[in-house]
């Protein structure tokens, strides 16, 4: 038989390939034909195998026809008619992100509905390219479609898909849904809704309407959605233009679709809402464009670019469908390019910029809300030389170029202030925060600062715990400042959780550090209260809370390295049970005994200190200790060890070699002075949440920061609780420089001054800016790794009076953390101004006597 094969089959390899291909096509065709035969089964519910064959045939084998006659409609019908009945089954895996988009737009609408005074509001939803109506039925997972919407319009150009949709809504019995088989470019709400504002007396003819209208038509749709339809519309420019007229001034538009794009295309755009994961490498761009072009699906970047140009971006996120070869897709939420507030206050040409600047400005002369009336007066007396925020500067540039405003302007809250996330000073943190919890004892902060409703506070964000603690005292304003965007993302998440979640969910997230439904809560509850960048960050880090194999929030960030080393030591050296006993100790005596006899000899070993903890890389990555701060504690150690000849306690009095020569001993001694007093004075499991969370990875119901108390949640979840909060992603100098002089009352700079080079002019410059921003009697609170930091003298030379309110001397414990050698409250007693305006960055100042 083998000898007969060459004589039967063609010898030409090309002919063999064609024959094999023809055989496959014939086989698929036969199977497809068999699946179309009538059977006892319901033809609307074919088997999964039959559904796949129909999809495969229509997508890859069936010739596309219908380019003549009705053009795009014939082309769509040619593609969808053979698979309309199996469309939903076959797209479940392919079209990822649809549920996310629906959840996000529903969350926006529900948030707006909660603010409405009446419950009989008319809401209209238009689903463009809605196909079989799957989106509309799926929306019922988030809101009751028959009750929440007064009218729902499914607009699609394919008669076959529309027929499936009609059967769907007949089955569901939803009377408020209307299926419109029409070109999206010609769809007008006034043709269906008689009471649309401005519809009476308007010309119905598209041609007459085009020539009669000088301005955009008055839209009435509260929601417009496009689910994998924009990429199938050849003339997408005109469709997007029509949507700008269809959407109401306060409406929301949601889009989910395929895309490919290079980050180079949008490197200089500040209105995209962030570009996390947006870049697709060159091979992916080439491959997916060619692949989808077979089915006339356009993945060119211009579709999404024009969408972002014509609307304002509220939320944006990019992802991949890894089940099908990592297909790139995006979910995007937008609103009218001109924010709704501009519609209601058109009297001044720059009113919208002034209004939003007042909402997000670093200058505290206007409240972030309820400023409409005072704004008009402010505009009249304002001058161009007034202090302006970076947000204002960006808005002016965008408006002059006819671009949308940065996405921060379209948020529901103005907590987060505009920043350029592409700057190197922000990207250096590589999408990671250092601290998952704050190492500052807020109980001591409250005792020392005694904040009240008149205070304007500036504080470093860190993990945001201290910011929330200050908010419990209801100061007039809080400026949270951090150069690391991810630290501010964490604060945003906590503020959004206070605003949107009940205490039980809040406790799971930040008490236990884990929540199995975090991703669902992020989309359906938290998203309306977050900036686009923060939402993207947590969407990509949802595993922090949901991973069954992970240990939760409090073993993330740079500080996780220190926690993991303690855990590894406990496992390797066999004292895990002793740590548990330490946490469960009921008395200080019991705690001390466990520490001294069973744990301290292992954790406090000099070997560990010399070879692990004293490593400069470990100190920075795990504990956030920079080189200059390390030099300060080394200098203190040299001073304490010197008996015969007193040594300087400042790094300025030593060479780099002298300081580093005793690093191991200095770090070991610092650890001893930190941990031993804590064990002596505070019960870890009962009253020290800072060390409890390190040892067990979560808080307990009896031991946690004050912001996690039920009463705190009750207070901070009230409407308006965070109206005075402004979250700055920048250096302290940059923020303070844009504050109106004499407006701050408190600045909490933690240990940030330790980061300056000893004797650096930058430190003096920051101190002078703090003097300018603080009112007389205003205070700076700081902690330091040194007993007497070198920069205290600089404070005193620039109009401040310094007082050390805590010091680790003789085994004293300055607070429950005890991580720093000293704590200071520094009070402004003089105004310092530059001698000439041209030298405002100089450190040569005049003192103005009080």
pLDDT of residue 199 exceeding 50, the answer is no
Task: Give the pLDDT band (50/70/90) at residue 69.
Answer: low
pLDDT category, 55, cuts 50, 70, 90?
A: low
Regarding whether 109 and 220 lie in a shared domain, the answer is yes
Q: Please count the structural domains in the chain.
A: 5
Q: Which of 380, 410, 440 is the last residue of a domain?
A: 410
Contact (Cβ atoms closer than 8 angstroms) between residue 827 and residue 799: no
Q: Beta 124-128 vs 744-750: how paired, if at all?
A: unpaired
Residue 101, number of CB atoms within 10 A of its CB:
26
Say what the pLDDT of residue 205 is: 47
**What does the pLDDT look like over 315-336, one tens digit per residue?**
999 999 888 788 999 999 999 9
Specify whether 23 is located in the same domain as 146.
no
Nearest Cα to Cα of residue 621 among 429, 424, 421: 429
Sheet-wide strand order for 151-156: 177-181, 151-156, 124-128, 221-227, 247-258, 327-336, 311-321
Residue 39 CA to residue 41 CA, distance in Å, equals 5
Using alpha carbons only, give the angle 559, 705, 580 rounded to the nearest 5 degrees: 65
> Residues 601-607: contacts with CB within 8 Å, 24+ apart?
602/569, 602/573, 602/575, 603/566, 603/569, 603/675, 604/668, 604/671, 604/672, 604/675, 606/664, 606/668
Residue 834 located in a structural domain? yes
Higher pLDDT, 60 or 773: 773
Domain that holds residue 358: 341-410
In 3D, which of 767, 791, 786 has the Cα closest to residue 778?
Answer: 767
- The strand pairing partners of 81, in sequence order, are none
Band of pLDDT at residue 496, cut at 50, 70 and 90: very high
Q: Identify whether residues 331 and 346 lie together within a single domain.
A: no
| Residue 710: band (very low, low, confident or very high) from pLDDT cuts 50, 70, 90 | very high
567 and 686 in one domain?
A: yes
Q: SS3 of 308, please?
A: helix
State how far the Cα of 676 lies from the Cα of 682, in Å rounded to an integer.
Answer: 10
Residue 549 inside a domain? The answer is no
More confident residue, 533 or 668: 533
Same domain, 236 and 317: yes
Query: Based on the domain organization, do 636 and 717 belong to the same domain?
Result: no
The per-residue pLDDT for 355 is 55
Q: At 360, which helix (H) or strand (E)?
A: helix 351-360
Q: How does pLDDT run across 594-653, given as a tens digit for each residue?
A: 999 888 887 777 666 666 666 656 665 555 577 888 888 888 878 877 655 555 667 777
What pLDDT does 45 receive?
55
The whole-number pLDDT of residue 278 equals 93
Q: Are residues 331 and 354 in the same domain?
A: no
Q: What is the mean pLDDT of the chain?
A: 81
On whether both 689 and 607 belong to a single domain, the answer is yes
pLDDT digits (tens, 9 = 90+) for 370-396: 333 433 343 334 333 356 778 888 888
The answer on pLDDT for 264 being more than 50 is yes
Range of lowest pLDDT (74-78, 255-259, 402-406, 438-442): 74-78
Q: Using 50, 70 and 90 to split pLDDT, how confident is the model at 662?
A: confident
Strand-strand pairing, 456-460 and 744-750: parallel
Q: For residue 491, is it within any domain?
A: yes
Give the residue, 35 or 281, on which the prediction is more confident.
281
**Token digits for 797?**
């030379």
> 817 in a domain, yes or no?
yes
**Residue 253 in contact with residue 224, Cβ under 8 Å?**
yes
Residue 651 lies in a domain: yes
Say if residue 727's pLDDT is above 70.
yes
Domain contains 485: yes
Among 90, 106, 121, the domain-final residue is 90
Helix (H) or strand (E) holding 713: helix 710-716
Residue pLDDT, tens place only, 734-743: 999 888 889 8
pLDDT at 342: 52
| CATH number for 113 | 3.40.50.150
Tens-place pLDDT, residues 786-839 = 999 999 999 999 999 999 999 999 889 999 999 999 999 999 999 986 544 443
Same-domain pairing of 83 and 113: no
CA 816/CA 677 separation, integer angstroms: 9
Can you say whether the dihedral through the CA atoms of 442, 448, 453, 459 is positive or negative? Answer: negative
- 605 vs 753, higher pLDDT: 753
pLDDT per residue as tens digits for the range 422-479? 899 999 988 899 899 998 999 999 999 999 999 999 999 999 999 999 999 999 999 9
113 and 247 fall within a common domain: yes
Is residue 716 domain-shared with residue 790, that is, in the same domain? yes
pLDDT on residue 42: 46
311 forms bridges with which residues in the sheet?
A: 336
Its pTM stands at 0.84
Domain boundary among 90, 114, 130: 90
Let me know whether 150 and 246 are in one domain.
Answer: yes
The answer to the question of residue 739 being in a domain is yes
The fraction of the chain above a pLDDT of 70, given in percent, is 75
Look at residue 553 and tell me if it is in a domain: no
């Amino acid at each position: 038989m083998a000898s007969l094969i060459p004589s039967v089959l063609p010898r030409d390899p090309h002919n063999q390939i064609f024959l094999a291909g023809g055989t496959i096509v014939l086989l698929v065709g036969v199977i497809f034909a068999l699946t179309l035969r009538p059977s006892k089964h319901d033809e609307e519910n074919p088997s999964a195998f039959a559904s796949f064959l129909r999809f495969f045939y229509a997508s890859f084998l069936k010739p596309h026809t219908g380019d003549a006659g009705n053009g795009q409609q014939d082309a769509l019908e040619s593609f969808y008619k053979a698979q309309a009945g199996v469309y939903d089954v076959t797209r479940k895996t392919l079209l990822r992100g649809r549920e996310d988009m629906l959840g996000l737009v529903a969350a926006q609408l529900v948030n707006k509905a909660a603010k409405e005074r009446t419950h009989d509001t008319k809401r209209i939803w238009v689903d463009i390219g809605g196909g079989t109506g799957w989106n509309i039925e799926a929306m019922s997972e988030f809101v009751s479609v028959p009750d929440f919407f007064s009218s729902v319009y499914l607009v699609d150009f394919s008669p076959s898909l529309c027929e499936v949709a009609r059967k769907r809504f007949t089955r569901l019995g939803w009377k408020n849904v209307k299926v419109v088989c029409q070109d999206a470019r010609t769809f007008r709400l006034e043709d269906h809704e008689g009471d649309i504002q401005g519809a009476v007396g308007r010309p119905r003819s598209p041609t007459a309407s085009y020539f009669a209208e000088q301005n955009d038509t008055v839209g009435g749709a509260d929601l417009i959605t496009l689910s994998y339809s924009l990429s199938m519309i050849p003339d997408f420019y005109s469709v997007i233009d029509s949507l700008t007229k269809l959407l109401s001034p306060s409406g929301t538009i949601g889009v989910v679709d395929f895309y490919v794009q290079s980050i180079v295309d949008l490197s200089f755009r500040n209105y995209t809402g962030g570009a996390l994961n947006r870049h697709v490498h060159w091979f992916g761009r080439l491959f997916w464009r060619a692949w989808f072009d077979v089915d006339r699906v356009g993945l060119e970047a211009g579709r999404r670019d024009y969408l972002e140009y014509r609307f304002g971006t509220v939320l944006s996120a990019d992802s991949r469908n890894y089940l099908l070869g990592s297909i790139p897709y995006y979910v995007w939420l937008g609103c009218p390019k001109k924010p709704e507030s501009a519609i209601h206050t058109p009297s001044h040409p720059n009113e919208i910029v002034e209004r939003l600047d007042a909402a997000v400005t670093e200058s505290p002369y206007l409240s972030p809300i309820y400023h409409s009336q005072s704004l008009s007066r402010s505009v009249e007396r304002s001058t161009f030389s007034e202090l302006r925020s970076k947000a204002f500067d960006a808005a002016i540039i965008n408006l002059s170029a006819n671009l949308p405003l940065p996405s921060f302007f379209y948020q529901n809250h103005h907590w987060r202030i505009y920043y350029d996330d592409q700057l190197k000073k922000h990207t250096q943190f590589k999408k990671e925060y250092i601290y998952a919890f704050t190492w500052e004892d807020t109980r001591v902060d409250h005792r020392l600062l005694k904040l009240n409703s008149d205070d304007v506070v500036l504080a470093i964000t860190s993990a945001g715990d201290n910011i929330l603690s200050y908010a419990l005292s209801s100061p007039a304003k809080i400026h949270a400042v951090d150069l690391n965007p991810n630290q501010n993302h964490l604060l945003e998440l906590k503020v959004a959780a206070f605003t949107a979640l009940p205490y039980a969910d809040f406790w799971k997230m930040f008490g236990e550090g884990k929540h199995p439904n975090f991703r669902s809560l992020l989309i359906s509850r938290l998203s309306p209260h977050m900036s686009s960048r923060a939402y993207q960050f947590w969407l990509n880090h949802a595993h922090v809370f949901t991973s069954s194999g992970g240990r939760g929030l409090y073993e993330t960030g740079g500080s996780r390295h220190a926690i993991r080393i303690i855990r590894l030591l406990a496992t390797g050296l066999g004292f895990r049970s002793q740590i548990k006993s330490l946490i469960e100790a009921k008395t200080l005596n019991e705690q001390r005994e466990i520490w001294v006899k069973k744990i301290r000899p292992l954790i406090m070993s000099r070997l560990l200190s010399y070879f692990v903890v004293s490593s400069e890389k470990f100190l920075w990555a795990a504990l956030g200790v920079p080189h200059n701060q390390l030099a300060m504690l080394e200098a203190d150690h040299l001073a304490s060890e010197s008996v015969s000849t007193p040594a300087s306690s400042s790094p300025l009095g030593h060479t780099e070699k002298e300081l580093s020569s005793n690093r191991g001993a200095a770090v070991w001694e610092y650890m001893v002075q930190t941990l031993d007093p804590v064990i002596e004075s505070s019960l870890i499991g009962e009253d020290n949440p800072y060390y409890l969370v390190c040892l067990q990875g979560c808080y307990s119901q009896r031991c946690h920061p004050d912001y996690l108390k039920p009463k705190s949640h009750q207070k901070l979840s009230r409407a308006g609780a965070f109206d005075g909060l402004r979250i700055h992603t920048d250096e302290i100098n940059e923020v303070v420089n844009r504050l109106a002089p004499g407006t701050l009352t408190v600045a909490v700079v933690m240990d940030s001054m330790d980061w300056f080079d000893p004797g650096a002019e930058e430190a003096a410059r920051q101190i002078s800016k703090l003097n300018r921003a603080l009112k007389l009697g205003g205070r700076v609170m700081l902690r330091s790794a040194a007993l007497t930091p070198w920069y205290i003298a600089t404070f005193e030379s620039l109009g401040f009076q310094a007082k050390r309110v805590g010091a680790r001397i003789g085994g004293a414990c300055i607070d429950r953390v005890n991580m720093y050698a000293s704590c200071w409250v520094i009070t402004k007693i003089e105004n310092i101004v530059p001698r000439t305006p041209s030298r405002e960055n100089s450190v040569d100042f005049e003192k103005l006597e009080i």
